[in-house]
């Protein structure tokens, strides 16, 4: 697909920023960045090491060097293990070695891990420098908008972080066409979530176009990204600091994060969230909030998207469920070790349940 890129605007305390979605945006990066940054600004591209062989790093560097004098790059290994204090420290050292200062900017080229790590480093280096998101995965469309950046601790995901809004989100759809199928599948989970919590029309679009999306069709991906990012932009513009409706974006994540943390390497983030959405829908059904027809419709779509909808039998032992529940009690939404959940009431509407009885959660996980 060619033509004029699609644009959204996100409202943020640090300043409003654009989300730009289209093809060929890596080649056009310099023109987009000069609209928000001085050409004398020093730029550090923090990128996923596996992207080097695809040519994306070179393409971005060549574009930026047309307008910016000082452009540096730093590779980070793929995987959740890179979201650590140790890797953040390596970035700080690289920033200092390159001579970055408070007027410099960090560009995150890659998926959600790179965006989180680079964004956290930008938020904390010299008390905060500018930051640009350039996501290259479908999954990252959720994480790249909203300014939440974080690293992990051994005790759990995203426990050390900040709110640091990007100056720009530049989404080149062409980068999604080189993804393996399982990564497009994983990314679809977050778009399906946006449909459940806010936008029934988006949910219906995915039902009708799941096959071309998985196959990497440019038109289908562009429309999906625009509509899904629009949901995220609307929500975070209303509630940047997660004091209200932004918490709805955590549907599927209370259980999903616990699964991911305890089974990392076995489940992608999207797969873990897909399982979490089904189990959290089951909780809603047991509490009388939703009917079985909605659960069945959600399960069918997730399966069409080639996502799992249940834990295997060996992960339903009492010991395994104990570990999941203990991890959920450390969730950022939890207070006094409660079990909080975002629960669907109908397609497009969810609510926050501050504390669900542990017996109900155990029954659902063991089912």
Q: Is 79 annotated as a binding residue?
A: yes
Structure tokens, 344: 């669907």
Q: Is 269 annotated as a binding residue?
A: yes
Q: Is 263 annotated as a binding residue?
A: no
Q: Is 78 annotated as a binding residue?
A: yes
Distances (CA, A) of 140 to 109, 137, 177, 287: 11, 5, 14, 32
Q: Is 338 annotated as a binding residue?
A: no
Q: How far apart are CA 343 and CA 353, in angstroms?
A: 7
Q: Specify the CATH class of 6-178 in words.
A: alpha beta
Q: Is 326 annotated as a binding residue?
A: no
Q: Is 137 annotated as a binding residue?
A: yes
**Residue 169 near residue 36, CB atoms below 8 Å:** no
Q: How far apart are CA 75 and CA 96, in angstroms?
A: 16
Q: What is the pLDDT of residue 1?
A: 46
Structure tokens, 124: 């904390």
Enumerate the domain spans of the chain: 6-178, 181-366
- Concatenated DSSP letters of 110-129: ESHHHHHHHHHHHHHGGG--
Closest CA to 193 of 117, 261, 273: 273
Same fold, 6-178 and 181-366: no
Closest CA to 197 of 277, 81, 265, 266: 277
Burial of 89 (0-12, 13-18, 19+ CB in 10 A): exposed
Q: Is 254 annotated as a binding residue?
A: no
Q: How far apart are CA 23 and CA 1, in angstroms?
A: 7
**Residue 80 near residue 113, CB atoms below 8 Å:** yes
**Per the confidence metrics, is the pTM higher than 0.85?**
yes
Active-site residues: which are they?
127, 148, 190, 232, 242, 246, 250, 253, 257, 269
CATH number, domain 181-366: 1.20.1090.10
User: What is the full per-residue pLDDT of the chain (367 aa) written as tens digits?
Assistant: 457 999 999 999 999 999 999 999 999 999 999 999 999 999 999 999 999 999 999 999 999 999 999 999 999 999 889 999 999 999 999 999 999 999 999 999 999 999 999 999 999 999 999 999 999 999 999 999 999 999 999 877 888 999 999 999 999 999 999 999 999 999 999 999 999 999 999 999 999 999 999 999 999 999 999 999 999 999 999 999 988 999 999 999 999 999 988 876 689 999 999 999 999 999 999 999 999 999 999 999 999 999 999 999 888 999 999 999 998 998 767 677 889 999 999 999 999 999 999 999 999 999 8
């Amino acid at each position: 697909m060619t033509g004029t890129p699609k644009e959204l605007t996100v409202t943020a305390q640090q300043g409003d920023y654009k989300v730009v979605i289209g093809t060929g945006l890596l080649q056009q990066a310099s023109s987009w960045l000069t609209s928000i940054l001085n050409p004398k600004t020093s730029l550090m591209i923090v990128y996923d090491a596996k992207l080097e062989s695809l040519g994306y790093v070179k393409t971005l560097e060549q574009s930026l060097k047309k307008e910016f004098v000082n452009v540096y790059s730093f590779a980070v290994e793929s995987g959740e293990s890179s979201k650590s204090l140790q890797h953040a420290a390596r970035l700080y050292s690289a920033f200092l070695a390159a001579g970055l200062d408070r007027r410099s900017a960090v560009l995150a080229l890659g998926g959600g891990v790179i965006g989180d790590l680079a964004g956290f480093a930008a938020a904390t280096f010299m008390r905060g420098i500018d930051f640009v998101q350039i996501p290259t995965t479908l999954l990252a469309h959720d994480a790249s908008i909203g300014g939440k950046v974080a690293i992990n601790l051994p005790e759990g995901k995203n426990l050390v972080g900040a709110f640091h809004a990007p100056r720009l989100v530049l989404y080149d759809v062409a980068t999604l066409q080189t993804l393996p199928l399982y990564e497009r599948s994983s990314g679809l989970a977050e778009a399906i979530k946006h449909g459940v919590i806010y936008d029934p029309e988006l949910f219906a679009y995915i039902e009708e176009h799941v096959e071309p999306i998985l196959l990497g069709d440019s038109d289908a991906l562009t429309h999906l990204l625009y509509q899904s990012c629009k949901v995220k932009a609307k929500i975070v513009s209303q509630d940047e600091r997660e004091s209200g409706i932004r918490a709805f974006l955590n549907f599927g994540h209370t259980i999903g994060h616990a699964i991911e943390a305890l089974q990392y390497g076995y489940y992608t983030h999207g797969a873990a969230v897909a399982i979490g959405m089904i189990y959290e829908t089951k909780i809603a059904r047991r509490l009388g909030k939703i009917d079985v027809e909605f659960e069945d419709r959600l399960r069918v779509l997730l399966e069409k998207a080639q996502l799992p909808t249940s834990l295997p039998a060996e992960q339903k032992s009492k010991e395994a469920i104990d570990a999941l529940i203990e991890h959920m009690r450390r969730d950022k939404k939890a207070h006094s070790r409660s079990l909080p959940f975002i629960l669907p009431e109908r397609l497009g509407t969810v609510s926050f349940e501050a504390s669900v009885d542990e017996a109900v959660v155990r029954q659902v996980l063991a089912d």
